[in-house]
């Protein structure tokens, strides 16, 4: 659970992304809340200042803050973490405050924020505030706009939030390693006007990818293309939280992409409109209806819809190999190949060998096969009708009547009204349907005059 012990002392006013050193300054730093909980935590409502509908983070949480005069103060700790990607598999990553991704930071347009960053990594780091308007010295590019934050040191960033919208934070120091190890988080700035772009439910998560061989715990940080774990907030299906929505709610979903490829995110059952990017709010005249939004690398997209259709609606990346877990890249294709004789020969050496793949891979979703340590089935998860046969970037938007405001508990599977579920036909139709004989009743015959084409010299053509 979250550690939200009282914040003690008062913070010194520091100019620039500066190092904090000495016992006097250290005593003024707010404590850093931490958690290792893998499920979505309740929204953190503001106790003072402008009202807003707080976000909820898939399999994550919002970082608490304290007020110190006019400043809203936060404390991030960059450190090694252990993240359970789904039950049965853990990854040794780098993150913030006990998790990867780190906690979501929430504030309001016009707030003055002071963010302390303590480095408990084995190497230096920094934090870049992706998409935000701020002084150059607060931009967080190590070596360019500030000194690197050395191990064991604490720096502080101070700036005023100039605009509302959806943003991210991540290092600009040894990026290939640090971002590949999971160092990232969401930053949401709510409008000053509580009525502007107001929604009833506001979800946020990040897309990231990892290459982890079965039985290993640390991702390959030098991988560029062949990833095996495709994640929403560093979780894979069936370990990804569902998006629980009350019928008729106005819903916003904010997605940031800090992976190394694009992701076409598709939601079933609805069309929606993109209302925000990391560049700001999209004017109403520039929005268009969609069911799939492509997420470019290093970007944020927020879309909105009115939850008027109850049901269980899939939401997933539409690259089919991104909805699989622990996917091998050297798997052979055996569709249409009869492996009976081959299986007999292999079983002489490996008694438990099971031939698979001759008729596709769907049978993997039903079978509970022995797996190496610390890995997951490629296709997994069960619904009320059987195996879902998914993994990776897949979850479910559950729209229900009767859910209380700000209740995000899983309501279970949808109870379909009678006659609304696809069903098997007991006696399939055979042969061709009967054809109508003769002229259709009450339909006059069509008369056609054929005009012969005229050739040169006035003659008509043969036909």
Q: Identify the pLDDT of residue 302.
A: 98
Secondary structure (3-state) at 136: helix
Q: Identify the pLDDT of residue 380.
A: 86
Calpha distance 264→230 (Å, rounded): 13
Cα angle 293, 221, 187 (rounded to 5 degrees) comes to 45
Task: Judge contact between 96 and 145, C-beta under 8 A.
Answer: no
Q: Identify the pLDDT of residue 10.
A: 30
Q: Identify the pLDDT of residue 345.
A: 73
Within a domain: 277: yes
Within a domain: 412: no
Within a domain: 340: no
Range of the domain at 137: 18-317
Non-local (6+) Cβ contacts of 324 within 8 A are 230, 378, 379, 390, 391, 392
Task: Judge contact between 393 and 317, C-beta under 8 A.
Answer: yes
CATH of the domain at 252: 2.60.40.420
Going across the sheet that includes 105-108, the strands are 105-108, 185-190, 165-170, 128-130
Non-local (6+) Cβ contacts of 354 within 8 A are 367, 369
Q: Which residues of the chain have pLDDT under 50?
A: 1-15, 23-24, 360, 365, 460, 462-463
Within a domain: 353: no
pLDDT digits (tens, 9 = 90+) for 15-37: 457 776 554 465 589 999 999 99
pLDDT digits (tens, 9 = 90+) for 198-251: 999 999 999 999 999 889 999 999 988 888 899 999 999 999 999 999 999 999
Calpha distance 66→196 (Å, rounded): 25
Look at the chain and report how many structural domains it folds into.
1
Structure tokens at 364: 């993997």
Within a domain: 347: no
Within a domain: 431: no
0.75 surpassed by pTM: yes
Within a domain: 366: no
Calpha distance 39→337 (Å, rounded): 43
Within a domain: 13: no
């Amino acid at each position: 659970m979250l550690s939200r012990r009282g914040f003690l002392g008062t913070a010194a006013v520091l100019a620039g992304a500066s190092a904090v050193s000495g016992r006097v300054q250290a005593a003024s730093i707010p404590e850093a809340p931490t958690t290792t909980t893998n499920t979505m935590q309740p929204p953190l409502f503001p106790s003072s200042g402008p009202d807003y509908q707080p976000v909820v983070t898939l399999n994550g949480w919002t970082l608490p803050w304290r007020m110190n005069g006019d400043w809203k103060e936060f404390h991030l700790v960059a450190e090694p973490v252990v993240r359970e990607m789904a039950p049965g598999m853990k990854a040794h990553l780098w993150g913030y405050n006990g998790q990867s991704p780190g906690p979501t930071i929430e504030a309001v347009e016009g707030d003055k924020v002071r963010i302390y960053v303590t480095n408990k990594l084995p190497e230096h780091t920094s934090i870049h505030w992706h998409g935000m308007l701020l002084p150059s010295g607060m931009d967080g590019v190590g070596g360019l706009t500030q000194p690197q934050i050395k191990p064991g040191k604490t720096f502080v960033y101070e700036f005023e939030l100039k605009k509302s919208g959806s943003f991210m934070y991540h290092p600009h120091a040894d990026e290939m390693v640090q971002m590949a190890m999971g160092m990232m988080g969401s930053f949401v700035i709510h409008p000053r006007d509580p009525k502007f772009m107001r929604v009833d439910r506001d979800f946020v998560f990040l897309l990231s990818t990892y290459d982890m061989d079965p039985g290993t715990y640390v991702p390959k940080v030098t991988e560029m293309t062949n990833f095996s774990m495709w994640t929403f907030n560093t979780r894979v299906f069936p370990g990804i939280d569902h998006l629980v929505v009350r019928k008729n709610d106005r819903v916003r979903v904010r997605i940031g992409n800090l992976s190394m490829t694009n992701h076409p995110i598709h939601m079933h059952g609805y069309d929606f409109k993109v209302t925000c990017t990391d560049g700001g709010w999209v004017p109403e005249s520039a929005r268009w209806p969609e069911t799939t939004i492509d997420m470019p690398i290093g970007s944020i997209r927020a879309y909105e819809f009115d939850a008027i259709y109850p049901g269980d609606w899939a939401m997933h990346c539409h690259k089919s190999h991104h909805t699989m877990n622990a996917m091998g890249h050297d798997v052979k294709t055996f569709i249409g190949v009869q492996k009976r004789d081959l299986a007999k020969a292999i079983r002489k050496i490996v008694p438990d060998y099971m031939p698979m793949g001759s008729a596709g891979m769907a049978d993997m979703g039903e079978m509970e096969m022995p797996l190496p340590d610390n890995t997951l089935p490629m296709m997994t998860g069960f619904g009320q009708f059987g195996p879902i046969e998914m993994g990776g970037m897949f979850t479910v938007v559950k729209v229900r009547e009767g859910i209380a405001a700000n209740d995000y508990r899983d309501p279970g599977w949808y109870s379909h009204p009678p006659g609304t579920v696809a069903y098997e036909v007991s006696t399939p139709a055979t042969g061709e349907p009967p054809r109508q004989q003769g002229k259709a009743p009450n339909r006059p015959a069509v008369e056609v005059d054929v005009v012969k084409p005229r050739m040169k010299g006035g003659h008509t053509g043969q036909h």
